[in-house]
Amino acid sequence: MTHISVHEHLMVMTEEETQPWLLELGQMLRDLGDTDSALAASLAYDLSRNPTIAQGLRELIHGYQIIKDELNKDSLTSIQTQTVKNAIKRISINLDHLSSSSFMESSIKGEGNG
């Protein structure tokens, strides 16, 4: 079976040269979730309909990669490490609350329509 890259999938979907940020997001999604290229390209393409969210997610994943690399180097002081971990925990909790409330709102709206 031939491996088709995220770039090739996006080229087929968009029928034009893929924007570098969209390609990068697709590759990040592939690597982050160990997702196949077709699904990662499809997810990135879908997110590209809301460029603000797509850009924010790309920056979040990029930040995650930098932090992961730095924490693995073990070059931070214990206070710096704890500050980073606390910030990550707070961001994670806040994102979880946002996604839960958005899910609940859409569920409630969906029930009212049915």
Distances (CA, A) of 71 to 48, 60, 65, 82: 31, 16, 10, 11
- For the entire predicted model, the pTM comes to 0.72
Residue 105: pLDDT band by 50, 70, 90 thresholds?
Answer: low
pLDDT for 4 equals: 82
Q: In degrees rounded to 5, what are phi and psi of residue 35?
A: -95, 150
Does the pLDDT of residue 107 top 60, yes or no?
no
* 14 vs 95: CA distance, rounded Å: 30
Q: What is the pLDDT of residues 30-87, one digit of tens each?
A: 998 888 899 999 999 999 899 999 999 999 999 999 999 988 998 899 999 999 999 9
Tell me the two tokens of residue 49. Answer: 């309909």
pLDDT for 58 equals: 93
Q: Which of 11-15, 60-64, 75-79, 109-113 has the lowest mean pLDDT?
A: 109-113
pLDDT for 111 equals: 47
pLDDT for 46 equals: 93
